[in-house]
A and B are shown apart, each in its own frame.
Chain A
C-alpha cells in the first residue's frame, strides 16, 4: 500500500536507469577490494562511471548552477594541487568554516586527496570557541567563506601557534587585506592548475596511499557538557557506515538531498559526502540560510534529514498560516487532518484500512495532504529521518499521517551516525528502531546503551583519557544514554541522557527530556528545561516561540515591544499555563512518569542561545549551565515566591556583552492525581 502512495508522488523511485543498475553492482561489491577505500577514490570512480550526472547544485544569482561528477573531480584536483603549492603536508589539519556550499565540500575532499585531515567547524561559533578548536587540532590552514570569518580568525590568529594560511571563497570587502597569508579560493585553484606538472605526481602518490585506516575527517562534538572533543573518524568508519546505511534505505544515484545542516555536524558529512559519494547522488546547496525553504521546495529532495526542531518549526508555520486562512479552508484542513491522523500512518505502513477510509484519504490527498507536502517541500520525500533529539510524538505523527515516510534514527558522532534505524513499515514514535546493519548493541545493568560497529570512531584527538572512558578494549562504546529494548518488537527505546535521568527525592525516576518534549509540541513553546533531580517536585523554565506567540498577539491586538515584554504578558502566561496543565494530565496517565508533573514554572525573559553557552551549536539545552546561570530563578521556583527580579548577561552576535533585567512571575500549574487503574496501555 505504501508503495503506491510513494510512487504517486515520487517519479524517481519508479524509474530504473542503466546507470542505477550499474551503481548497484558497484555498491554491492566490497569496497576495499575494489580499491575504493577513501572518499577521493570514490570521487575518481564517480567521475568515470557517472561522469555526466550532476554531483552538486547550488543556487546562485537566482539560478541552480550545477557541477557534474567529472567537473567536480576537476575542481577538487585543481584545489588539491593548489594545496600542494601552498605547502600542505600529509597529516596537516585544515579547518573549514562556511555554510553548505560546494566549495567547502570540495575543500574537504581536496584536503583528503593530499593526505590532510579536514576539520569542519561551526561557522557561527564565537571567536573563542573557534580559537579552542583551531588550537586544539593545531590547524595550519583554514578555508572560510567570507570577510566575517576572515576577521574572526585574524582576531584569534595570535593565539594560534601553528596557523599559517587562510583561503576565502567570497572576496568581497577583502581587497585591502594583507594577502601574504590570505588567498582567494579561485586563485589557489588557478595556481594549482598552473603548477600541475610540478605537483601532479605528488598528488597521485599521496592519493594512492589512502586506505581504510587513514583518517577521513575530524569532527568536534557539540559538547552538552564541557569542552568539545575532536572525534577522529577513519575512511573505514565513514565508508562502511555510508555503505550499510545506503543499502538499508536503498539509496540510489537518483536520490536528491538538500544540504543545509551545519557542515561541522557528523550527519551532514555522512549524507552530503559519505552517502553521496557512495551512491553518486546529487547534493543541492541552498542560496542562503534564509532561502532554505524556497530552495527545499524547488529541489523536492527524495531523501531528507532534519533535527526535530526543523519539523517543529515547519509545523508551527503551517498552523500559524492555517489560523490566518479563511473559514472554509480551515474546516477543510482540520477535517482531513483528523482523518489523516486516524488512518494516514496505517496506510503508509501498509496496515489494513477500510475501503471508505482509504477513499476519503485519497480525496484528502488531493485537497490537503498533497498541496501541503508540496508547500513544505516534502512532495517527493521517499526516506526522511529525524534524529539528534527525541521528536514529539504528535509532531512525528503529523508528518507520517500526511504520507511522508518519516523515520527515526539514533546516532552519534562517535558511531559515524548510525546506531539504530527504523526499517520501513516498522515505524513507531516512541522507539528509535533496530540496530543498524553491522551494529551490535548491549544494555548495561545501569541501563546505559553500548554499541560496537565498523563505524566506531578511532579516538578523541589528543584526549586518551576520554577515549579510554568511552570506548573499551573490545570496541564497545558508551552512548551516555539510558534505554531498553521494547519486548514486543525488539526496538530500542531511549529514555533520556544517562546523565540527565535522575531520581526525585522520593527515589522515583526523573526523566526531564521526556517532559520537555511533551511541552515543546505546543507551537507557543520553543524550549523547555525541566528541573527536579533530587527534589520533591518538578519545575520548569519555558521559552516562548516568538513567531507563534507574536502571531497570536497580533491577531488579538496585544501590543508588545520586545521578546521580554511578550514573554511577561499575563495572557501569554495563561496560555502557557494551559499547555503545562495539559502536559500534566497526559503525564498522569503514565504510571512511570506521573510524578514528573510540572508544579511551578516561569517563562524566561530571553531566548536560550548558543552564544550565551546555554545551548550547544546543534541547539541542545545545556542543563547544567542553565541551572547555574539562572540559579536565582531556580531558587524562586522552589521557595514559593510569586515573582523574582533578575539580571542576566547576554552576548550579542558580534561578541559584545550586555545585561537585561526583568521581573518574572512564577506560575503555579495544576497537578493531576495519577489514577493507576485508568492507565492506558503502553
Chain B
C-alpha cells in the first residue's frame, strides 16, 4: 500500500503527489435504498482516477458525494488534509472542485463563449452593479477573465464555434464546451461524469487526448466515470471498481483487469 504523503511515478514518467482527497467509509442511503455502502478510497494529486462499474453501481452518486451534491449519512470526506464538514455544492466549487455532467447541463441559448465565461464566476470579485456599469475594475476583470477563457477555447480547439449558441451544437461538441466551462474555473480537482458517453470512436479519441492534455498541461487531478473499458484502461492511473454500491476492486488498470471479483461483476457468474 502506498504511503499517504509520498507520491509515485507512472510508467510514462508523470510524478503523482500525495493524497489530496480521501473518502473514509462512505455510506449513502436514499430512504431504504443503499446507494453506496461503506466505501473508502483516496485520490492523489495529479493523477487520473477512474471510477467504473456496471449500471446502477453507484458511480454517479459517488461523484455527487465528492462534489458536495449529496451528503453521505455515514463516513468522512477528507480534503487537503482536513475533514470536510457537510457543504453546499457552491461551497465545494469554491474549494476548487469543478465537474461536468452525464446529461449535459449548459445554457442552451447562450453562446459557447458566454457559457465558458460562466465558469469564471468564482474568479469575479466585482458586484452586479459594477458589472452592469462596466467601468474600471469590472471592465479590467472581464478582460482578464476573457483572456483566460480564450486560452481554454484555444486549448480545446473550439475557436470556430466561439459565437455559436450551444443549442445548435452536436452532442460531442457540447461535451467539449462543458469541459471548457469546468476548466475555466481553474479547478484543482476535475470531476468528469461519463465524458465519452454517446460518442463515436473519433470523438472519443479527441476527448481522451484533451483529458490527458489537461492533466499534463495544468496538472489537474481528474476523477472520471466511464463505461468504455478501453478508454478507462488507457487513460487512468488507478481505478476504483464499484458494484451494487460496494467497492470490489481498487488499483492500477492491470490489477483491476485481473481481479476475479471485477471479471465476475462485468461478465456475470455462472450459477451451476
Contact = CB atoms under 8 A, between A and B. Distances in A.
Contact of B216 (A61, A62, A173, A287): A173
B150 A62 contact: yes
B203 interface: no
Given A176-B13, A287-B159, A291-B160, A61 B213 contact: no
A466 interface: no
A175 interface: yes
A654 B209 CA distance: 14
Contacts of A176: 12-14, 216
Interface string A349-378: 000000000000000000000000000000
Nearest to B13: A176
Interface string B10-47: 00111000000000000000000000000000000000
A631 interface: no
B150 A61 contact: yes
B157 A172 contact: no
Contacts of B153: 61-62
Interface string B141-174: 0000011001101110101101000000000000
Nearest to A171: B217
Interface residues of B, number: 20
A641 interface: no
Contacts of A294: 160
Contact of A288 (B146, B147, B159, B216): B159
B147 A61 contact: yes
Interface string A287-321: 11011001000000000000000000000000000
A288 B160 CA distance: 8
A638 B111 CA distance: 54
A117 B212 CA distance: 37
Nearest to A290: B160
B10 to A, nearest CB: 10
Nearest to B212: A173
A651 to B, nearest CB: 14
A172 B155 contact: yes
A176 B160 CA distance: 29
B171 to A, nearest CB: 16
A561 to B, nearest CB: 12
Nearest to A653: B202
A61 B151 contact: yes
A175 B217 CA distance: 8
A654 B201 CA distance: 12
Nearest to B213: A173
Contacts of B213: 172-173
Nearest to A287: B159
B157 A288 contact: yes
Interface residues of A, number: 14
Contact of B154 (A61, A173, A290, A654): A61
A536 interface: no
A202 interface: no
B188 to A, nearest CB: 19
Tell me the dominant secondary structure on chain A's binding face. loop
B158 to A, nearest CB: 9
Nearest to B12: A176
A119 B150 CA distance: 33
Interface string A263-298: 000000000000000000000000110110010000
Interface in B116-156: 146-147, 150-151, 153-155
Contacts of B155: 172
A62 B157 contact: no
A291 B212 CA distance: 25
A206 B209 CA distance: 43
Contacts of B13: 176
Interface string B185-215: 0000000000000000000010001001100
A60 interface: yes
A175 B15 CA distance: 13
A654 B206 CA distance: 12
A254 B216 CA distance: 44
Contacts of B157: 288
A176 B216 CA distance: 9
A287 B161 CA distance: 12
A288 B156 CA distance: 12
A60 B153 CA distance: 10
A291 B153 CA distance: 13
Contacts of B216: 173, 175-176
Contact of A290 (B14, B159, B212): B159
A61 B144 CA distance: 12
A176 B12 CA distance: 8
A173 B147 CA distance: 21
A654 B146 CA distance: 34
Nearest to B152: A61
Most buried by A among B153, B157, B160, B205: B160
A176 B213 CA distance: 11
Nearest to B155: A172
Most buried by B among A62, A63, A654: A62
A76 B14 CA distance: 35
B115 to A, nearest CB: 15
A172 B212 CA distance: 11
Contacts of B14: 176
Contacts of B212: 173
A294 B159 CA distance: 11
A173 B146 CA distance: 24
Nearest to B151: A61
Nearest to B153: A62
13 contacts: A60-B154, A61-B150, A61-B151, A61-B153, A172-B155, A172-B213, A173-B216, A176-B12, A176-B14, A290-B159, A291-B159, A291-B160, A294-B160
Given A63-B150, A291-B159, 10 more contacts: A60-B154, A62-B146, A62-B153, A62-B162, A173-B212, A175-B216, A176-B216, A288-B157, A290-B159, A654-B205
Interface of B: 12-14, 146-147, 150-151, 153-155, 157, 159-160, 162, 205, 209, 212-213, 216-217
Closest 4 pairs between A and B when the two form their complex, measured CB to CB: A290-B160, A61-B150, A291-B160, A62-B150
